[in-house]
Structures are given as structure tokens and as C-alpha cells.
Structure 1
């Protein structure tokens, strides 16, 4: 029995004692983290503030962000063996200028798939003259020709009876050299010459995706202005007007758009790095059929850039029927990379090109 005034067992006391001690421990723990957290926040702020100035001082840093060629995904893929990912495909290598060799995958039309089994590169080269149209596919930044959405493109358009030559520009994949805008044009025109020498009267198209759309219009314009030769068509998938507009709209630069001097420090530095990709100027010169494809839910390059490019081209072209814009509704979920997953794509392209 307890006597009057005697307190109960120690549990209550320990609980109250524990209640007094526990917040003190929590407080000490929080205080110990404060200097670390403060240091981390200061470091992040310094990085945030220094990046624009470093880019202005060293524009070559910006080329790394634009080209992303150091991201060679998918990793551990043997680019010399496309048959591990694709049917009816062979890998070849082309010297585009002294010291530069680029890797290419050639997918033959699906209707020749059975015939292609076990054939060597020579057979594939001769197959280019079979009257099926030839697509020179110019991919976007980052990765190699083995990226999943690029493999899907080869499957889709190969099955639709196109030859597809998928190029890894200099500095990408297993291609040698270092990426530059002018170098990309050299690579594309070298591949065009190689294909033209083997394709007879077959149509040749430049098909650019994302960054590759600027490369496609650069090559088409140079071909037309310097050689008087017109590529048979240009298809631009998820395009932009020029690299400055693209940089001002991509998600990566969102945190800097309100930064004082954003245009001077970052956007103007693109020109210092010799990066322009002026598709909006190029389409004013082109006269070949031009097809622009853009998805409403493109979160990388907003569709208004594709619309703007179409408006520039449509105003410049004398024959308005040669320019077309195809919008892919948001409900399809195609985004920036997956227009080639739309089963209707080949029919849309063939309809524009008046092909059966």
C-alpha cells in the first residue's frame, strides 16, 4: 500500500525525465546539422551564381551541354553488331574527311528482309539502288544510334519499305573526331554523296530529330546553295527555330531565365561557341518538300517552336503545298522522343511525299 503523498513507481518519473531530455537531444542534433546545411546551401548558391560566368568565359563548356555526346547511352552495346537489336541491318563506317570516321547503320526495307539474311555490306550497298526511298536519319543530342527510340525509328520506317541510314556524327557513338556544327554538316554531306552514288534514281530524304533538325536544314541549304543540288525532301521531327531559341525554352535553363544577364551570359555565349543551327533562316532558302512533325506534349522543345518554324517556311515558300505541319495530340503521349512509335507515321509521310 502507498502512504498518502507517496508517489507512484518510477515509470512516471522516468517518462517526465525522458520528456525533458529528449527535446534537448533533438535540439543538439538539429544544431549540429545547421552548419552543414548552411555550408551546403552556400555551396549550391555559389555554383548557381558561377555557372553563367564560367560559360561566358569558357563557351566550350556550353557545347558539352548542347551536344551531350559524352553520354553514350545505351552503354555496353556493340555498335558493330546491330543485329542484336534490329533485323535487316548492317553496320558500316565512312571517312567523311581526313582523320574523321563515322559509324552508320543501314536498315533495308522490310520487303527485302528475308533476302537480306546473311548478306554482307556489299549486298546492302547494292540494295540502295532498288528504287525504294532512302532516309538519312540525323538523331538528337546525347546517346548513339542504338538509343531505344532511334532503334524504333529504324524499325518503323524500315517496315514501311524505306532504306534508313542512321548516322552517329563525329564524336558520337563509335565515330571519331570532335563535335562541331560545321563538322556535322560535313559528315551528313559525305553520307549523302556516298548514298547518292549507290542509290540510282531513288529519292533521298534528310530526317532530323531534335538537335538533328538543325543539322538537316544546314546540310540541305549547303547542298542547294553550294552545289545547286536539291535533296528530295526534309522531315523535321520535334524541331526548333534556332539554337538560341531552343536554349531559351528547354527545361534545363528554366532556373536561369530570371537571372540578371541570362541572355548575355548564356544565350549570347552560344555564338561564341560557334553554335547557331539557324533552321528559321535555312527554310527561307530551301525549295524542297518540307514536313514538320511536333507533339503537343513535347516537354523538351515546346511545340510553339515547331509552329513558328512552319510559319516562317510557309511564308517563304512560293509553292505552299510543299510545306506541311503535322500536330500530334497530347492524348497520344508521344512527347519529344516517341513520334516514331505512332503506327500512322509512315502513312502520313508517304501521303506528304505522294508515295504509295
Structure 2
């Protein structure tokens, strides 16, 4: 609730001084990124290795959580890294890279119960805190910076194993996921086997106008100029409606109808775009909704009894399939390689 309240107060202040906001990237970033210092390791799950990766000389925190079937290893610190790396190379290993939303850290809210569910399905789970979040170093936050952190983690995993990787993004993390997958395809790098988007939106302008707080404030005559257009101009765009068309991996979208932070209609609209406009030969897009009377809201789809089966079926269907690259994408990759 504190994150939601902070967004309301920031946007309300933005409307009061809209001309200034139009020139202040700091205020714009505060609207998009509810970041802050914390220590997620106070709530670190068992059988989890905490470590740090570096982008542009700045570190960000990572958890590698073992599948439940692995038990709790009794290791000296010196043996920990090699044990976890060896586990990734197990022939039965499946890896989930989880990208969280705009608030809190990798230990917040419904994230820990979701990790537990994924681990119970015998998946390795990687979760990160983007720079400026949690115990990560501060940085000049941008769309590029959070995507770079996700990409660095993905490359860390693929450098150590060839086992199937799936991406799970939540809220803002869904836009990080689609942007990263678009970059992977454009650069000709290995693609994830599938992408799970929980509470996604089409793009940041739609999200700012559409959520319950922005929807009320959008009637203010200065909202468009002072907030939505300024954020777009400064490249805080998070355009999943474009990026979902730029990679081949299959996609599963999950959205609760009573989500007031990211409106259900935005997730469904993204599904319609992906399912109707992706190139022939790319993976399908599927959509699963959760009725409002179940009160899952923005953060608690993990409570749905059927979620475990949905995830298991999606992973089982695609974990051994090769992600095909349509001819158009291959041409684009060649152009990027030989400008």
C-alpha cells in the first residue's frame, strides 16, 4: 500500500507543477521506479545462493534458489558456487528467471510464495534486484538500465548451462522481459524457451492513463503534457505492445480482473496484439484470467490453485522445443551483425 500511496502523491504533485515535471527526469523516474535501499537477505529463502553481478562497474543482487527436490545443501562457503553451478547442468534442470515490478525488492510481497511454488515444481529460480533496488548499487535508473541487468543475468545463466530457461515478469518486469527478449532476438543470442507475463501492460503511457489512480488524474488538463508525454519523450516507454512482436518464444499471460494497478484490459489488449500480429512461425500467445471475486488483485495470483498446473503445462510443452526464428527475424539479425 505504501508504494501505491507514494505513486498517488508523486503524480498529484506532478500535476500541481506539470511544466516543471516536463523538464524533470528525476520526478518522471520516481513515478516509474519506486526504488529504494533494503536488505532482501533478511528474508532469503533456504537453499539460496546470494551473489552479485556487475554492469558498468555497478553491482546488483541476485538469488539462485535451488529446486525443492535438491534439499538444503550443507556447504562451506568455498564450495557453494561450484555446487550451484553443477546443479544448473543437471539434465533435468529447468530455470526460471524472475523479473519483479517497480516496487520493493526481490523478497517483497507475493514474491516469496511464488518462488516457493516454482521450486516445488522442481525449477531453479533466479531473482534479481535491478540497480537502485534492494541491496544493489545506485545508478541512473532508466529503461535501458533495468533491461541491461536482466540481460546480464540471462547471459550469466546461459554461460553456465544449456538447460531450458523461461522468463517470468511481473508488472513492470513484464516490460523488462519483452524488451530483453526483443534484444536477444535482434542480437542473435539464445532465446528463452518461453515467457510468462503476470499483470502486463501494453506500454507505459497506456499504464499511466489506465490504472485507477492515473485514470482519475488523466482528466486534469495538465496530465498529458506534464506526465504521460514527458515520460514518453524521455524514453521511459516500456513498449511491450511492440516488443512482443519482435521475438519468437511462446508467451503465457496471467491477469486478475480486479487488478487496479495494471488494468486487466491492458493485459488482454497485449494478448490480442500478440495473438493476432505476431509473424507466422513464432510461438503462440495464451491468456489466462482470474475472476475479481477471487480477490487476487495485482500481487496474489500465486494463490490460485490452478496456477501450478498452468505453469507446469506451459513449461512441459515448450522446454524441449527449439524456438524457431522466422525468415524476417533472421534477415534483421544479419543486418544487425553486418551494418
Q: TM-score, normalised by structure 2?
A: 0.83
Q: What corresponds to 2:26 in structure 1?
A: 60
Q: Give the direction of change, closer, same or farther, for the CA distance of 1:121–1:341 in structure 2 (3 Å limit).
A: farther
Change (3 A) 1:190 1:135: same
CA distance in 1, matches of 2:23, 2:249: 40
User: Which residue of structure 2 aligns with residue 79 of structure 1?
Assistant: 40
Instruction: Please tell me whether residue 240 in structure 1 is matched to residue 218 in structure 2.
Output: no
Q: Residue in 1 aligned with 2:306? A: 344
Over the aligned positions, Cα root-mean-square deviation in angstroms equals 2.1
1:92 alignment partner in structure 2: 51
Write the distance in 1 (CA, Å) between the matches of 2:144 and 2:246. 18
Who is 2:65 aligned against? 107
**Which residue in 2 is equivalent to 1:138?**
99
Q: Distance in 2 between matches of 1:67 and 1:49?
A: 18
How far did residue 338 of structure 1 move? 0.7
What is the rounded CA distance, in whole Å, between the counterparts of 1:273 and 1:151 in structure 2? 33
Q: Secondary structure at the match of 2:110?
A: helix
The alpha carbon displacement at 1:117 in A equals 4.0
**Distance in 1 of aligned mates of 2:15 and 2:247:** 42
1:124 Cα shift? 1.4
Specify whether residues 113 and 275 from structure 1 end up closer, same or farther in structure 2 by C-alpha distance, changes over 3 A only.
Answer: same
In structure 2, the gaps of 5 or more residues are 1-11, 320-339
Structure with bigger RCO (C-alpha 8 Å, 6+ apart) = 2
Q: Is the 8 A contact 2:99 2:168 kept in 1?
A: yes
Distance 1:177 1:351, change over 3 A: same
Task: Report the 3-state secondary structure (helix = DSSP H, G, I; strand = E; otherwise coil) of the residue aligned with 2:62.
Answer: strand
| 1:129 aligned residue | 89
**Alpha carbons of 1:87 and 1:342: their partners in 2 closer, same or farther (altered >3 Å)?**
farther
Please give the residue correspondences for 1:249-260 in structure 2 after superposition, counting only pairs within 5 Å.
249-260=210-221
2:35 is the counterpart of 1:69: yes
**Match of 2:4?**
none
Q: 1:52 to 1:140 in 2, by over 3 A?
A: same
Q: Which moved more, 1:292-301 or 1:249-258?
A: 249-258
Q: Deviations over 1:85-109 (max 9, x none)?
A: x2221211111x2321110111111
Higher-Rg member (1/2):
1
- How far 1:253 sits from its partner (Å)? 2.1
Cα distance in 1, alignment partners of residues 133 and 15 from structure 2? 31
Distance 1:182 1:156 in 2: 30
Q: Deviation per CA, 1:145-185: give whole Å up to 9, x if none.
A: 11031111111111111111001011111111322110111
The total of aligned residue pairs comes to 301
Q: Tell whether the 8 Å contact from 2:251 to 2:283 is kept in structure 1 after alignment.
A: no
Alpha-carbon displacement from aligned partner over 1:308-331 (angstroms, at most 9, x marks no partner): 000000012325862100111222
